[in-house]
Amino acid sequence: MVLKVAIQKSGRLNDDSLKLLKECGIDIANGVNKLKTEASNFPIEVYFLRDDDIPQYVEDGVADIGFVGENVVYEKNKKVQVVEKLGFGKCRLSIAVSRNEKYEDVSYLEGKRIATTYPVIVQKFMEERGVNADIHEISGSVEIAPGIGLAEAICDLVSSGSTLFMNGLREVETILHSQAVLIKSIGLADEKQRLLDKLLFRIQAVKKSKNNKYVLLNAPNEKLTEIIGLLPGMKSPTVLPLAETGWSSVHSVLNENDFWDIIEKLKEAGAQGILVVPIEKMII
């Protein structure tokens, strides 16, 4: 029994998906232009497909699971289940207009032409806001549409916004914040669900490790209670006596979002010799 996995064959999600599997301890041989391969140490078979086709393959059961962008999942609207957000491939689907246009709110788009490769998502967005726009579905080079008179606005994926700027456009509405997700077939067999659960266990351990740092520090015993109070840890910090009398070594885990604020407070409280170590895997 193997778990059939669909991954984008090229582009921004391919490298990150394969990197995640490698970080999960799964060894995949990916030859040049190879569209199907197997892992040598985990029961999965990998198919390299066009990202737009992945939801359909998963719905049909040709692939059991797939790594794909949320934007593709919502646009294709197939019968699949999102089981995990993966934290990479982050971008946003946004509406943009010419920098010279006076845009105040979405009512500006009433009766306007919008060029996009995501007509389903855009249509739903407009209907929810009671705006009747003329949506033109095109593939590729969406940013050029206003400049050649095809449309007054576009809706496309945005990362930095530099492409919009270079084409004389500005972002005015964000429809969707997207990232890579793991989807599965609705009717996944029990045996394959167990394999998926094992894979998810590894993925979640890798994800937790990326958001946390392992911290070791030396603390004077008279300040130990105050310093421990600053360290949340997974349960509570580990405290070990040092060879030097009156000092202890304190070990804990800090979330990336709180890291610098807490480190500054630790220094003020008297902590010394603070070491910060990346975590490869984190299992709670």
> Could you read off the pLDDT of 185-233 as tens digits, one per residue?
998 999 999 999 999 999 999 998 888 889 999 999 999 999 988 887 6
By CB atoms closer than 10 A (0-12, 13-18, 19+), residue 49 is buried
Count the alpha carbons within 13 Å of 244 in the hemisphere toward its beta carbon: 7
Residues 99 and 201 in one domain: no
Residue 232 confidence (pLDDT): 72
Say yes or no: 241 and 204 in one domain: no
Q: Are residues 197 and 72 in the same domain?
A: yes
Please answer whether residues 26 and 39 qualify as being in contact, where contact means their C-beta atoms are separated by less than 8 angstroms.
Answer: yes
Sheet holding 3-8, edge to edge: 36-38, 44-49, 3-8, 65-69, 180-185, 80-85
Q: What is the pLDDT of residue 32?
A: 63
Based on the fold, state whether residues 163 and 229 are members of the same structural domain: no
Surface-to-core class of residue 68, CB atoms within 10 Å of its CB (0-12 exposed, 13-18 middle, 19+ buried): buried
Residue type, 254: L
One domain for residues 165 and 153: yes
* Whether 98 contacts 168, CB under 8 Å: yes
Query: Which letter, b or e, does each residue of 269-281 get, where b requires 16 or more Cβ atoms within 10 Å of its Cβ?
Result: bebeeeeeeeeee
Same domain, 98 and 23: no
User: What distance lies between CA 190 and its chain's CA centroid?
Assistant: 27
Residue 284 lies in a domain: no
Instruction: Please indicate, yes or no, if residue 23 is contained in any of the structural domains.
Output: yes
Choose the final residue of a domain: 190, 209, 228: 209
Domain co-membership, 229 together with 266:
yes
Same domain, 69 and 193: yes
Name which of 246, 116, 40, 225 is nearest 126 in CA terms.
116
pTM, two decimal places: 0.84
Confidence grade of residue 181 (pLDDT, cut at 50, 70, 90): very high
150 within a domain of the structure (yes/no): yes
> What is the residue whose two structure tokens read 């409280």?
269
Tell me the average pLDDT of the chain: 92
Answer yes or no: do 224 and 238 share one domain: yes
For residue range 257-274, list pLDDT tens digits in order. Answer: 888 888 899 999 999 999
CA angle 165, 168, 173 (to 5 degrees): 70
Q: Answer whether residue 82 is part of any domain.
A: yes
Name the residue range of residue 125's domain: 91-178
Q: Is 195 a member of any domain?
A: yes
Q: Is residue 12 part of a domain?
A: yes
Q: Which of these ranges, 54-58, 150-154, 231-235, 269-273, has the smallest mean pLDDT?
A: 231-235
pLDDT of the residue at 11:
82
Residue with more model confidence, 141 or 266? 266
Mean pLDDT across 56-67: 97
Q: Are residues 77 and 183 in the same domain?
A: yes
Do 194 and 77 sit in the same domain of this protein? yes
CATH number of the domain at 8, please.
3.40.190.10
Instruction: Reply yes or no on whether the pLDDT at 236 is more than 90.
Output: no
Which of 178, 195, 220 terminates a domain? The answer is 178
The answer on 96 and 144 residing in a single domain is yes
What pLDDT is attached to residue 258? Answer: 85
Number of domains present in the structure of the chain: 3
Percent residues over pLDDT 70 in the chain: 98
